[in-house]
Amino acid sequence: MRSFKVVRWFLALALPLFSMPLFSMPFLAEGFDAEFEEKPWAEIEVQLPAFPETENLIAFRVGYHTDTKYLIDGNSLSVGPDGVIRYTLLVISASGAKNISYEGLRCATAERRLYAFGRSDKTWSKARSNQWVRLQGSTNTHHVDLYSNYFCVVGAPDIRSADDARRVLRSGGRLPDTAS
């Protein structure tokens, strides 16, 4: 007899819930949103690539600068499951000075990160700071150009693979199949 009362009590509480349409149960949606938002973004573990070879470098334009050369090692390009586009960047000044770095660009947050710097003996030196830096207000126009004109162009398809990124660089800033 007692078990019958418990079942009746449970049905009295649960029956109104089952008769409501799912979309009218706001507490379920709130729980879903909270669970969805509680999963923070996590960066994958990064492995440094092989040092860049001249034959794999892809030049790209930055603003109106003609005296400085900007190149990305096509073999180092990757798009991680964390949404970060990673690449080796080579900047050659008008006087011939070279800066080589391995970097990441996050389109979702307009941030960049330096992972390592290239040495003259073709080895990597890990960057001292491992922080993501916002591009807003950046004095490095090449990072802003990579973001806004190549890898994270508003209205263009997302870069989903290294092949997409290489095509964008070689085509001058947008996927060839999206040109109008």
CATH code of residue 150: 2.40.128
Tell me if 44 is assigned to some domain.
no
Asked, for residue 43, whether it belongs to a domain, the answer is no
State the DSSP H helix or E strand holding residue 102, giving kind and residue range, or none if neither: strand 98-106
Residues 147 and 58 in one domain: yes
Global pTM?
0.73
User: Is residue 23 located within the same domain as residue 100?
Assistant: no
Q: What is the mean pLDDT of residues 36-44?
A: 76
Same domain, 25 and 88: no
Same domain for 34 and 68? no
Claim to verify: residue 14 and residue 93 sit in the same structural domain: no
31 plus 62 within the same structural domain: no
Torsion, CA 13, CA 14, CA 18, CA 19, rounded to 10: -20
Look at residue 48 and tell me if it is in a domain.
no
Q: Number of folded domains in the chain?
A: 2
CA distance linking residue 174 with residue 161, whole number of Å = 14
What pLDDT does 36 receive?
55
Q: Residue 37: is its pLDDT beyond 90?
A: no
CA separation for the pair 168, 176 (Å, rounded): 7
Is 49 within a domain? no
Range of the structural domain that residue 32 is part of = 2-38
Quick check: is 97 in a domain?
yes
Per-residue model confidence as pLDDT tens digits over 75-128: 999 999 999 999 999 999 999 999 999 999 999 999 999 999 999 999 999 999
Residue 45 resides in a domain: no
Tell me how many degrees the CA angle 143-58-179 measures, rounded to the nearest 5: 80
| Tokens coding 69 | 């050369």
In three-state form (DSSP H/G/I as H, E/B as E, the rest C), the secondary structure along 14-81 is HHHHHHCCHHHCHHHHHHHHHHHHHCCCCCCCCCCCCCCCHHHEEECCCCCCCCCEEEEEEEEEEECC
